[in-house]
Structure 1
Amino acid sequence: MPKNGSRITYLLQRYASKTCSREELEELFAYIASQPEDSTLHEFMETAWQEQQPGATVPDVDLNSVYHNIIPTTPVKRVFPFRYAAAAALLLAVATLAFLWQRPNRTSPQDLPAIQQPVAVISPGSNKAVLTLSNGATITLDSSGQQVISGGNGNQITQQNGQLVYGAAATADHIQYHTLSTPRGGQFRLTLPDGTKVWLNSASSLRYPTAFKGAEREVELQGQGYFDVAQNAAQPFKVKVNTVEVQVLGTGFDIMAYGDEATINTTLVSGAVQVKSGNNLQRLQPGQQAVFNQQSHALSVQEADVDKITAWKSGLFVFNNMTLTAILREVARWYDVEIAYDTTPSTELYGGGISRSLPLADVLKLLEANGFNHFRIAGRKVIVLP
């Protein structure tokens, strides 16, 4: 579908200003889907991202892969209507609110009173955390901070914007433990003394030593984290989550272990891990997920949508056959809100994606426009309505 640059630029500008007609939108998405490497598209994405994230580069994420299976092959009651999924994903990468085609006989989101009433804007989460030292002292961290913190074993600990970096310990005679905790509405990155990189999602914590001694490197996780483990065959890396242990040598994997979720999920991206609970030991291959049921204590292995599960690292909610209640648990943690139900939520399944950089009201509009439930914001509470 050959087009000149001025036409594409025009369509992109119309999209960004939310003035596209449906015909123009279909024309733009069809072109992006057929020409994803077009230089005009990439220049637009870079410019739009810089306007919203000064100094940052467009996230390194395979968005075509993220959205490859976003429209399920099995029937579901509702999905977000991204007819050109990969195309929509490219524009979601620059945190632009996607247009939605309305289903017949559905009320337009602009006409819905539930979330159109004047309310305080609830912004998305950001880089923030609390570092608890071995003596109980706490240090507040945020996205703009730059500081050097003295470690208990002579580590130089540096806060660099949204991440905390540990240098190697000068001494390791007496191992001390630190805990990095993210609140609801927060996320943070951490580089451990061995070079292992950890991404902590909202409402999560990681307890770790300031130096790794002995036969293994062991940390304790609550909530959700992604690990890029520094290789050291002589000193295996272990993550403890309640009664579950994840043992690795050098690999990338995600663990989701929130208390309000029914399962603890370990998803392997690369390398190999072993997941152990009691006498049950499961070895994962890349693309597999170990699922531990927190009630029955059963441990099983299944194939996993890795890109969907790790999309939070790149600023996206990605849903694939998810119920509204499961989605709202993620929303509650990221926006630090309470979810209250004035009705029984629908059991329809959702597919699609939403940028995590949008205000809460915009996320709820997208869910409203594609489901049966409405929402009302009251302070920091989201009330689910019929």
Structure 2
Amino acid sequence: MEEISTFDVNETVPDSSLPNDTEQDLLLEFFLRRDNPCPNIDEEWQKFSQLIDNGKSSSRRYTPVWWLCGAVAACLAVMFVMSYHSNITHPSGKEVLAAIDNDSNVTMKRGDDEPLVVEENVLAFGKGSSLHGNNNSKVVIKTPRGHECELTLSDGTTVWLNGESSLEFPQSFTGKERRVRMTGEAYFDVAKDARHPFIVDNDFFSTRVLGTSFLMRAYSRNDASVTLVEGSVNMQSDDSREYRLQPGMMAQLGANGFDITSVDTYPVIQRRAGYLYFDNEPLLNIMVELGRWYNKTVVFENEAAMQIRLHFVAERVQTIEEVVEALNEMDGFVVELSDAEITVR
């Protein structure tokens, strides 16, 4: 029978019996990668096993037991590091919006030219303006988070772009229709022209109007909607079903076409006027909007607070510190602010 090695607990253990720097680094990488999405477990295990096999030596009599002790110590160290950075990993919270690498300027791209930084937040493409053109080459205006832009198109239509949004349109409208494409959120005040309908496309649906005012959202399919303030809107979803809205109606895209409800349009007008305006809105919606405007990751550790409904108003020019202070005057939750995150507890 093979003799089993024994050891005295008081015996001095050579340093070579503990994991070396490479092995400790690999252990640290192994446990940190465990919480990342879609790790390649097979590849990491193969690397781990190969390293252990290469490190075996007949002169290391106590390796099996003391290597295990060292591994446990390394694991405890990793757990300490992960605990120290719990505000980043949020194992017990729910992240509802992530901060992004954000540009600091509004940009304009004309035709095949490179995008240019736009210093002003009010741009005009009508006749007599410096940006007016006589061709239908495409112009794309993009706003980063925390910035807005107001445009006047060649037909006199005005468009307000919220942060993290874009609008693609021709320098000059020609043909039988006026067609633009948007992402994010935009408020349209469409110039009337009965002979040339105004069409707004996004990734999820299209609207067709003659002259009207409405807010369109299309950050994602989940929040894709139109709220009509004046006039009328004909809508077509991606399944080709058509809908018609009257003032005071909102169409929210759902799994089976649009869900149409009556709404108060005053919050929409206030958003257009420079306010973060919420009336009887779930705290979840409010925090997502704030996170997008200020480009902060939003985490709910108190998930029950997501459905608390609030009336809350702030100006877009206010600092995030001022907004968080105002939120914390309300009951049922606590909002904490760090450099990159907003946490609701």
TM-score by length of structure 2 reads: 0.65
Q: In structure 1, how many angstroms separate the alpha carbons of the residues matched to 2:334 and 2:301?
A: 10
Contact kept? 2:133, 2:171, Cα under 8 Å = no
CA distance in 2, matches of 1:128, 1:199: 16
Report how many aligned residue pairs link the two structures. 238
Matched residue, 2:112: 135
1:312 matched to 2:289? The reply is: no
Identity %: 29
Listed as ranges, the matches of 1:147-226 within 5 Å are 161-168=120-127, 171-172=134-135, 175-226=136-187
CA RMSD across the alignment: 2.2
1:181-230, Cα deviation, whole Å (9 max, x unpaired): 11000100001111110000111100111121111110001011011111
Q: Distance in 1 between matches of 2:327 and 2:181?
A: 35
Aligned residue identity for 1:364: V
1:245 aligns with 2:206: yes
Hey, what does 2:235 align to over in structure 1? 275
Mapping 1:75-90, distance limit 5 Å: none
Map of 1:290-369 to 2, 5 A cutoff?
A: 290-293=251-254, 296-346=255-305, 347-369=307-329
Greater relative contact order, per chain length (Cα 8 Å cut-off, separation 6+): 1
Distance across 1 between alignment mates of 2:256 and 2:336 = 37
Task: Letter of the 2:313 partner, please give it.
Answer: G
Asked if 1 retains the 8 angstrom alpha-carbon contact of 2:145 and 2:295, the reply is yes
Cα distance, 1:216–1:363 mapped onto 2, change above 3 Å: same
| Corresponding residue number in structure 2 for 1:111 | none
AA aligned to 2:107 is V
Post-superposition offset of 1:373 = 2.2
CA distances 1:289-323 after superposition (whole Å, capped 9, x unpaired): 11112xx1421221121111231121222222211
- Pick the structure with more helix per residue: 2
Distance 1:290 1:359 in 2: 32
5 Å matches for 1:228-239? 228-239=189-200
AA in 1 matched with 2:260: V
Change (3 A) 1:128 1:271: farther
Supply the AA of the counterpart residue of 1:354. Answer: A
- 5+ residue gaps, structure 1, are 1-126, 143-160
Q: Whole-Å Cα distance in 1 between the matches of residues 280 and 197 of structure 2? A: 36
Task: Give 1:339 shift.
Answer: 1.2
What residue in structure 1 maps to residue 62 of structure 2?
none
Which structure would you say has the larger Rg?
2
Q: Shift in Å at residue 128 of structure 1?
A: 4.9
Kept after mapping to 2: 8 A contact 1:345/1:373: no
- What is aligned with 2:31? none
